[in-house]
Each structure stands twice: as C-alpha cells, then as structure tokens.
Structure 1
Amino acid sequence: MTKGREKKFHEQGGTFVKIKGFNKSVIVFTSIVLLAGTALVGCAKKSETGADGAAAEQKFRMLIASEPPSLDPGLAQDNNSSTVLRPIYDALTRMDEKGEVKPGAAEKWDVSEDGLKYTFHLRKDAKWSNGDPVKASDFEFAWKRVLDPGMTPPAPYAYQLYYIKNAEEYNTKKITDASQIGVKAKDDFTLEVELKSPTPYFLSLVAFYTYIPLNEKAVKANPKFASEAATMVTNGPFLLKEWKHNDSLTLVKNDQYHSAKDVKLTEVNMKIMNDPGTMLNMYNTNQIDWAGRPTNEFPVDQLPMLKKDPKINLQIKGIASTYYYEFNTKAEPFDNASIRKAFAMSIDRKAIVEKITQGDQQPAYGLVPQGIRGESKTFREEVKDDYFKEDIAEAKKLLEQGMKEKGYSKLPAVTLIYNKSEAHKKIAEAVVDMWRQNLGIDVKLEVQEFGVYIKNRQNGNFQIARAGWGADYNDPMTYIDLMMTGGGNNNSKYSNADYDKLIKDAYGTSDQAKRMKAMAQAEKIMINDMPIMPIYYYTGIWAQKDYVKNVFVDYKGDVNFIYGSIEKK
C-alpha cells in the first residue's frame, strides 16, 4: 500500500489494459453517484427489483487472489488482506474514489493552528460487533500495540505512526513509557493526537488499516483473535461471518453499523482463486459479479478481444501504483550498487509495456507513480523521473566495474522470485531474457505461493524479488519513505543517511514547496543507489455486471463496495 497495498496492492498486481485517452500525467477517475435514500421494506424501488417485481437479492460476489496472510490490522501488509479489512473495520476517516477524506468512526475533528494537535470526536452510536461502544481508548490501545517494540512479529507498518509525538522513540526503545506517546483518549468519545511535526496528509493517513481501532477486551482475551471469523470483533459496515481458509470468505451486513441504513448489500462473497482463465469463465457463467481489480488479473493475451465484447463490460482507469523489482542489498551480488545499476539499465521497459503487458502502462524510472498529489499539480508532473536511462553499453561497464569491486571473476548464481501469476511470469521471463542477451547473465526464475513469497521477502530470503507499491494515502511520502533505514517494508534493507535525513526534513515542515523539494531529492538519491528497479506505472482493469451499482475502484486501485447494490431489471 496503504499501502500500497504490497499491501496492500502491492503484492498481486498484474492487471494490464489499454486506456483510451489516458493522460500520462493525470489519473482519470470515474465519477460515481451514490444512491440517495433507502428502500423501505415491501416498497423496493423499481430499479432494485427483478422482472417479477421481487426485490433483487443484495449479494455481491467477487474474488481475491489468495488466502489473506493476516487479518490483524497491525500485521497486514498486502492487498488481499486489506480488501477484507477495509469493509469490516471503521477507521477514524475513510477515503472516497478520488482520495478525498470523509468521516468514518470520527464524525468530526479539530486541528490546532500549528497543525500539531488533532482532536477527533467519535460517533456516539458506533458499536463493536459484540455490542460494546467504540471508544477513543480502542484507538489508543490499537496504535500503541502497533508501536510496542515487543509485538511479535513486529508490526511492519509501525513507521506509519511515527508522525505521532514519541511514537518512533517508543517503538525503537529510546523511551519505555507508552504514556509519552502523543495519543490519548480524553474521554470515551474524544481522541487527542499530538504530532511531532505538521503533517498535511494526516487525515488521509488515519484512514489506513494500521490505524484501525481494536476492541481491547477481545484482543487481550485471545491474542490469535484475527485467525478465525468467530473470534474477530469488528466495527465496520460488514462482519466476517465465515472464513473457509484457502477457499472463501463471507461478509454480511452489520446492522449495528452507525450508517447501516445506507448499506444495501446484505452479503459479500469472496472466493479465493488466482487463475485468470477460471476467473473469466466464472464471470461469463454468472458465478461472480466482479472480476479483476484489485487482486486478480485478466488473461493478457485475451485483452484485445475482451475490450471489444460489450457483454464483459470492461472498466479501465489509471491507478497510482508502481511495478518494480527489489534487490536484496545485503545479499551477493546485489550488495554492490554498480551491479544493481547494471541490471536496471539493461532492460527495455518500453518493449515490456508494449509487447508483454499491452496496457498503456508507463515505463517507470522513479518510484512515485502518476496521479499522486504534488505542490500544485501531480508530483510526477512537477518532478520528472529522469534519474537514469537505459543504456546497454553503460550497463556492461557498470557490471564489469561492480565485479571488479567485489573481486569476482564470475558473477554468483542469481535467482529472481515472484508470486504465482500469468502476468508476473511473462514479465519475469522477458526481463531474464533481456539480461541474458544484454549482459550475458543467466538468472534462474522461481515462482512461489503468495504466503511463502511474502515471508521470504520480509525475511530477506531472496536476491531479486518482484514487488509493487500502491498508495496508502494521497501524498508522495507514501512512496518516498518506503526505503528508510529499518522501515518495516524496506525488504531491500537499503540504508543511506542522506536519504533518511531528507525524509526527516520533509516530515518536519508543513511548507509544501520544501516538502516536495526534499522528497524529490530523496527519490533521486535512492534511485541512483538502485535498491529497487522500477519497471512501469500501473493501469487497472476490471469487469462488473451491469446490475452492480455504486461499487468503484478508487484512485489507488482498491475496490469499494460499502454502498454498492444489486439492481437487476
């Protein structure tokens, strides 16, 4: 992610499309008109009834690509998990399709003039699924749990809370008193948050799942609360009714949700499946209502035909996410920057997006994608990603230089890992072939199941790994601080003091011009060191039945069905 979601998104990726009229600098958003009012029992609107006049069954069927590795909001970091977490929990705020902040568990908030203190006023009618009121202390408990240095395993997104006063100091054991962290429940419905420096995007940030509240009583009673549907106490518009591991998840409407009257779907079925051909067959035979984004992909070779088929109802838009490979900077031979640069400069990104992915993806030479806000325009419009260029002759020189620096007469064996996916496989095969032809290097490919792949990346058990990152919030920082020393999602184990300082400089000011300049300089340093190899900026594709209304894919590629409905004629 946020992400993101690979949170988040981040780990599945691989939907490839062609966007008519896609502006290379601005992501185009589909306008969504929310339904007004609620149908009365026995008096359903005509548009929500079937041919016989009976109300349409409000069940929405979709797919997720793999078993969620964790439904613990403090441990989740992938898109499959976030797809389930977002509808079953309610954070302080929510984001709409354009990345604008909307009220969530907090009905309103106050911000001090200096931008350092946020006071959130919680809804007094919000309840947990066990009937308990949702209290400010539930947020304080959940956030401090993420920051607890003794949390096992450690929360990968703990650094996303470092904006809070003394959060980093507590998480890194510089202080031991959790009461010094700048989050306090002033009373049952007032949460006060003190930041270490002004953070213009903080209201967007608290919508991210690491900031989700937890029912303290339920968590303390069962540390494995997130492993089964029956033990999860949640506060969102939907409840997790059933979790058949490695098969499916079933969500049902939460009648105790504070805005339950606006939620029309009574059930959401998520089948776990990651086979493009099977997905398309299920869609064509009406076994599912939605296919593709955010976690599945369409068969790449069938896209031209699918775009022309009106029965498929293909939907296409740009999404703010980046596809890249990450190098393990602590593993040979990629502990050498010259060798990393040689690999990155010797592939043809244009050929990959035109001949392999075939979806008008943009070749990437930076980490921040299109569509993320900058100072006055988008960040990518204001800061060009011209940090390096593809140059085979120069790549060969860098490889030779790196081998000399390492004392190699021959490059050690190299393996590239990726999670199971038709698209990831085709991209990996193309890249490996380019390395063979352009550098004379044979790289082994290894496909891994999603859960195994995630753990290997987290634990540093790789040399090169496929990766992707989608926005956790609408600001360049959601990408720029990804590679900070010791960061929970810094799988490359990259470290550069100058890069870290620039990020802290950006954290420490609310001056947008200064922030953007510091982040641009940080991105340049990081890309020059090449702990990651950018490949392309994503586009997204999905298909939805024409009777599916008000379900949308947001600016970063997540699906939102909270206020959706089924309207069969």
Structure 2
Amino acid sequence: MKKFIIFLLTVFAVLVLAACTANENAGEDPAEEAPPTEEGTEQEKEGEAGEKVLHINNTIEPTSLNPSIGFDAVSWDPLNNLMEGLTRLDQDSIAAAGVAEDWDVSEDGLTYTFHIREDANWSNGDPVVAEDFVYAWKLMLDPATTPPSPAAFLAYFIEGAEAFNNGEGTADDVAITALDEKTLEVVLAAPTGFFLDLLTNPAFFPINHKVAEENPSWHAEAESFVANGPFKLESWEHNSEMVFAKNREYWDADTVKLDKVHFAMVNDTNTQYQMFQSGELDTATIPAELSDQLIDGDNVYIGNTGGLEFYRFNVNEEPFQNKKIRQAFALAANRQDITEFVVKNGVEPAFAFVSPGFTSPSGEDFRDVNGDLVPFDPDQAKQLLEEGMAEEGYDTLPPIVLSYNTTDTNKAVAETLQNMFSENLGVDVTLENQEWNVFSEAQQNLELQFSRSSFLNDYNDPVNFLESFVTDSYMNRTGWSNAEYDELIEKGKTETDEEKRWQYLYEAEKLLAEEMIIMPIRYYNTVVLEADNISGILRHPVGYFDLKYADKQ
C-alpha cells in the first residue's frame, strides 16, 4: 500500500489531470493552436459592438457533422445545436415537441404518426419535410453507407430496420413513410415505451435530402452545411474552431438569445482552464488538481451524466479467454481510490455497469435494486487468478498490454491501474496510448487485448447500455457471445409488462458481471465552470448540451 501511495504522489507531481467530461469519449490528440484569423478578429469586433457571443470548448474536431455518422460526444454537442429531430429534450430533459408539433400513437403502440411544423425550415429556406427523415434514417441503416453508421442499431426498433442494416432486407422494407410533405409514419417492430426519448438522439436528426442528393459531402464544410436547429454553421476552420450563428429560419428563433457561438478545440484541461481565467472561454472543466479548491464555488455547475468509463477484455486473446482471469483483474482495481485521488471532481466509483438515475416502474433506482456487482477484493482476485492460470496451464501469464486513447485523465487512470495490478496480482502490464481514430478502429477490429472505453447514454432507459453487448453488436468490441444474454436483452426491449421487462434487465446485468467481459471504473458526471454572465445552458444527462435557451449578459 505504501508503494501505491508513493505512486499516486508521483502521478500528481508529473501530470496535469483532467476533469471528467462527456467530451472525453472522443479523446483525440489536442489540435495545435492556430493563429487568429481575420475572421476571428472581426468576430471579436462584432462581439464588442453588442452581439452576444458565447465562447466554449469542443476539445477536438467533430468526428462528423453528418448526424448518421457523428455518434460521439464531440459531434453530438455541435449537432444538437445545429439540428433538431422530431422530438427535443426540454428544460427537464424530457422528450418534447421538436420539428414535430404533435403526433398520434395507435392503440397497439406500434404506429407513430408525426405532424411536422409548417414553419419548420432549413437554414437555406427549404421546408423541413417528411422525406428528409426518411432519407436520413435509411442512410443510417443502409449497409452500403461509407463509413457505415455506428448508430444504426438504435433504429432496430423500427420494423424492417435490422434486416435492412444486416443485408437481409431492402430499404423498402423499413417502415418509415412520408404520407405527405409534412406527415411521417413510423411502424415499430414491437411496442417501445421510450421511442420518443430515442428520437431525441442526434442520430435521428433529418437531412435535407435535396441538398444531400446533389452534394453527398454537404456536411463537411460550413459553406455547404444546412441546419434546421437553433443555429447554423457560419464558419469552420478544421481542427481549430467553429463559429455558429443564430438560425433565422428556425421555427422557434425568437427563443434563441445568443447571436453566435464560438467553439474552440483545446484538448488540454489546464490550457482550457487558463483560457477561462483570462476570459477567452465562458465555460471550462476543472483540472483534477484544483478540484478541492474550486468545486464548491458559486460558478460551478454539477449535474448527472448517464454513462460509464470501463475497460474491455478481448475474449479472443490470451489470457482473457478465461473468465476467472477476467474476474481477477476486475476485482483487483480499487475504484474508490481512482475516483477520489485521480479523477476527483465528485465522480462516483462504478461497482456495476448501469449508471444511477434510471427509475424503475416501482419508483426505485435501477442501481439501488441490483446493488454492487463488482467489488474491490484483492484476496479474491489473487485466488481467481491462480485458479484461472491453473485451468489454462499457465506458469506465467502471457504479456498483457493495456491500451487507452490519448488524454491526460486516461493516462493517469491507466497508470494507476497498472500499479494496482502489480500490487494486488503481481502482474506486470504494459501501457499503450493511441490517437482516437487509430484506437477506435483497432478496438472495433478486435486488435486490442485490454482497452479503455466509455459509454454515454443515447436515451433514457437502462437497456441502452446493456444492449451494447449482444452478439454482433457494433458496440460489443470484446468478441463475446452469449445466447442467454441475447435473449434477456431481447425481452428487455420488447416485454410490454414494464415490471417484467426491468426484471430481465436486472438479470442481464448480473450475467454481464458474472462473465466480466468488461471492467467498470467510474460513472460520469458533469462538472463545469461557467462565467458569472452566462445562463440557460441545458446539460442533459444523456451527454450533450443545448444552447437554445442560453444567454450572455
């Protein structure tokens, strides 16, 4: 233990530790700072002339501003302010009317008929029509889309969607129909009580089909981008900055108070904090080493974020084909120390998988009902490691490489785990860090043995996380397949009796803990510094923010 404390002190002495933020999900190398452009200088002059310009940080370049492709936090935040779906999360983070002013649901709960607002327009003046949703959703599901949409699985609730995406059906089989220009009909494969919540996810935003058919790369540059949300994309200097301007064509433009939003791309926690102090940013995350000093301040926002940081075991690579060895590594990690001494900022250790905040039909929190499933137990961990090695005939473990995507927080957590495995298991682990795009592709291709991951909830239901580990899921990335688990998740999605449905989900999480294909670390929260003259930013638990109601005095 003395060795561990010395290690922690060393980490604090040499690292600038980052705050826990949803944007960490993308974890790319920080972009080099670009010199001020003439356009940037002009924006400052306009701000001085009375325009309300909010300055915030997106950490890195969005993966894509095509809503079907940009399925991560660094894309969601911009997309959620440039675009709007049929429904939109309101001030209470509840699915409310968006582009659709209302909708009808059939008695069997399968058919939804959405009525699109007559005054819903694109930033180029085109009307938002039902065909824009048909086009966008089928593009998301089309197996020929390049790159393929990582969000396609979310649409599997729609009749014919999964078969089309798997190459076993056609686009015509997908039950999405433009009944007329402003009426969209969607038929589900089974009743889905959280369908309206699901549609708030940016993956279900529309695409101006006329613009996209003429220019498939419409989303790649500011000059060609068309928006239907509160803001439009005025300029985009890749890997450096984006500037949004109020979208006068937005149906609810009168509600939008900001004139512009300037997105910086600074992937260093200390740098962005210094920019906040100097007034270059209006919001910032708190560096971990300043958490104790700053977290109780009046200008700090603290909120829930549905999500989990965890590590994946590749069950196709030795030694993690053995369940007891996977369990040993999970039980050897002291999550309480990681959250208290490394990440800080009030984050909670994860002793299971589904994050707190999901209320059951009986009014209880999912997490409280299912309890702690992955404790810290070094003695049990050593015993499991010995048993697993004996089962595999190992005298010594094969070399183990722990991979993580590059950020200061990820590095600190990985180094702490490395020390814990040495202290509690007597196992030497090699660390490897990679830039996000390289890391993501390698993990998806099952090329990594033991690797860091994060999950932010896409919609408000515990099945959202658990469904990630069904056989052949894009989000699985472990090589694991279990028929019993697949069946539990299917029932957890389609059972109409809500109490029974939640029981299936409880059982699924326990099975996930028994198999230990992933190792939980900590739940996410949102801790943000906001300048005194900023108000109205909505930070939703699903992991993205909304600037529609934001103001700057």
TM-score (norm 1): 0.86
Which whole-Å CA distance do the structure 1 matches of 2:218 and 2:49 have between them? 36
**Runs of 5+ in structure 2 lacking a partner?**
1-19, 29-47
Change beyond 3 A, Cα 1:200–1:409: same
Are residue 76 (structure 1) and residue 70 (structure 2) matched?
yes
What is the aligned partner in structure 2 of residue 195 from structure 1? 188
Once the two structures are superposed, the pairs formed by residues 283-322 of structure 1 within 5 Å of their partners are 283-292=276-285, 298-307=286-295, 313-322=299-308
Are residue 252 (structure 1) and residue 245 (structure 2) matched?
yes
Which whole-Å CA distance do the structure 2 matches of 1:388 and 1:322 have between them? 14
Deviation readout 1:36-90 (Å, 9 max, x if unpaired):
xxxxxxxxxxxxxxxxxx9842110000111112222111221001111111111
Are residue 60 (structure 1) and residue 54 (structure 2) matched?
yes
Which whole-Å CA distance do the structure 2 matches of 1:554 and 1:543 have between them? 16
Which whole-Å CA distance do the structure 1 matches of 2:88 and 2:411 have between them? 35
Confirm or deny: 8 A CA contact 2:330 2:374 kept in the other structure: no
Confirm or deny: 8 A CA contact 2:222 2:235 kept in the other structure: yes
Are residue 527 (structure 1) and residue 520 (structure 2) matched?
no
1:505 Cα deviation (Å)?
Answer: 1.1
Are residue 208 (structure 1) and residue 195 (structure 2) matched?
no
Change beyond 3 A, Cα 1:332–1:93: same
Confirm or deny: 8 A CA contact 2:443 2:451 kept in the other structure: yes
What is the aligned partner in structure 2 of residue 35 from structure 1? none
Are residue 104 (structure 1) and residue 114 (structure 2) matched?
no
Are residue 137 (structure 1) and residue 125 (structure 2) matched?
no
Are residue 158 (structure 1) and residue 152 (structure 2) matched?
yes
Which whole-Å CA distance do the structure 1 matches of 2:76 and 2:317 have between them? 30
Which whole-Å CA distance do the structure 2 matches of 1:6 and 1:528 have between them? 29
Higher relative contact order (CA 8 A, sep 6+): 1
Are residue 517 (structure 1) and residue 510 (structure 2) matched?
no
Structure 1 range deviating more: 377-386 or 263-272? 377-386
What is the aligned partner in structure 2 of residue 32 from structure 1? none
Once the two structures are superposed, the pairs formed by residues 113-512 of structure 1 within 5 Å of their partners are 113-175=107-169, 177-292=170-285, 298-307=286-295, 313-512=299-498
Confirm or deny: 8 A CA contact 2:21 2:526 kept in the other structure: no
Which whole-Å CA distance do the structure 2 matches of 1:324 and 1:189 have between them? 43
Aligned to 2:226, what secondary structure does the other structure show?
A: coil
- Percent identity, aligned pairs only, is 37
Which whole-Å CA distance do the structure 2 matches of 1:8 and 1:186 have between them? 38
AA aligned to 1:145 is L
- Measured on the aligned residues, the alpha-carbon RMSD in Å equals 2.1
Aligned to 1:408, what secondary structure does the other structure show?
A: coil
Which whole-Å CA distance do the structure 1 matches of 2:469 and 2:128 have between them? 35
AA aligned to 2:515 is D
Are residue 90 (structure 1) and residue 78 (structure 2) matched?
no
Confirm or deny: 8 A CA contact 1:319 1:557 kept in the other structure: yes
AA aligned to 2:319 is P
Structure 1 range deviating more: 189-198 or 373-382? 373-382
Which whole-Å CA distance do the structure 2 matches of 1:534 and 1:430 have between them? 14
Confirm or deny: 8 A CA contact 2:354 2:367 kept in the other structure: no
Confirm or deny: 8 A CA contact 1:97 1:555 kept in the other structure: no
Which whole-Å CA distance do the structure 2 matches of 1:513 and 1:93 have between them? 26
1:9 Cα deviation (Å)?
Answer: 6.3
Change beyond 3 A, Cα 1:434–1:9: closer
Change beyond 3 A, Cα 1:225–1:119: same
AA aligned to 2:143 is P
Aligned to 2:223, what secondary structure does the other structure show?
A: helix
AA aligned to 1:301 is E
Which whole-Å CA distance do the structure 2 matches of 1:474 and 1:400 have between them? 41
Which whole-Å CA distance do the structure 1 matches of 2:176 and 2:245 have between them? 32
Change beyond 3 A, Cα 1:10–1:373: farther
1:406 Cα deviation (Å)?
Answer: 3.5
Change beyond 3 A, Cα 1:55–1:100: farther
1:325 Cα deviation (Å)?
Answer: 1.3
1:506 Cα deviation (Å)?
Answer: 1.8
Change beyond 3 A, Cα 1:250–1:174: same
AA aligned to 1:127 is N
Confirm or deny: 8 A CA contact 2:22 2:524 kept in the other structure: no
Deviation readout 1:430-479 (Å, 9 max, x if unpaired):
11100011111111122222333323322323122222212111111111
Aligned to 1:120, what secondary structure does the other structure show?
A: strand
Are residue 547 (structure 1) and residue 540 (structure 2) matched?
no
Change beyond 3 A, Cα 1:173–1:64: same
1:364 Cα deviation (Å)?
Answer: 1.4
Structure 1 range deviating more: 256-265 or 505-514? 505-514
1:138 Cα deviation (Å)?
Answer: 0.9
Deviation readout 1:503-538 (Å, 9 max, x if unpaired):
111222221101101111111111211111011222
Change beyond 3 A, Cα 1:377–1:250: same
Confirm or deny: 8 A CA contact 1:9 1:78 kept in the other structure: no
1:551 Cα deviation (Å)?
Answer: 1.1
1:421 Cα deviation (Å)?
Answer: 2.3
**Number of paired residues?**
515
AA aligned to 1:240 is L
**Runs of 5+ in structure 1 lacking a partner?**
14-53, 293-297
What is the aligned partner in structure 1 of residue 33 from structure 2? none
Which whole-Å CA distance do the structure 2 matches of 1:194 and 1:422 have between them? 45
AA aligned to 1:547 is N
Change beyond 3 A, Cα 1:90–1:338: same
Which whole-Å CA distance do the structure 2 matches of 1:167 and 1:253 have between them? 35
Aligned to 1:363, what secondary structure does the other structure show?
A: coil
AA aligned to 1:226 is H
Change beyond 3 A, Cα 1:212–1:114: same
AA aligned to 1:432 is Q
Which whole-Å CA distance do the structure 2 matches of 1:358 and 1:83 have between them? 24
Change beyond 3 A, Cα 1:476–1:309: closer
AA aligned to 1:365 is F
Deviation readout 1:373-416 (Å, 9 max, x if unpaired):
32232543552233243322322232233334444332222222
Structure 1 range deviating more: 111-120 or 416-425? 416-425
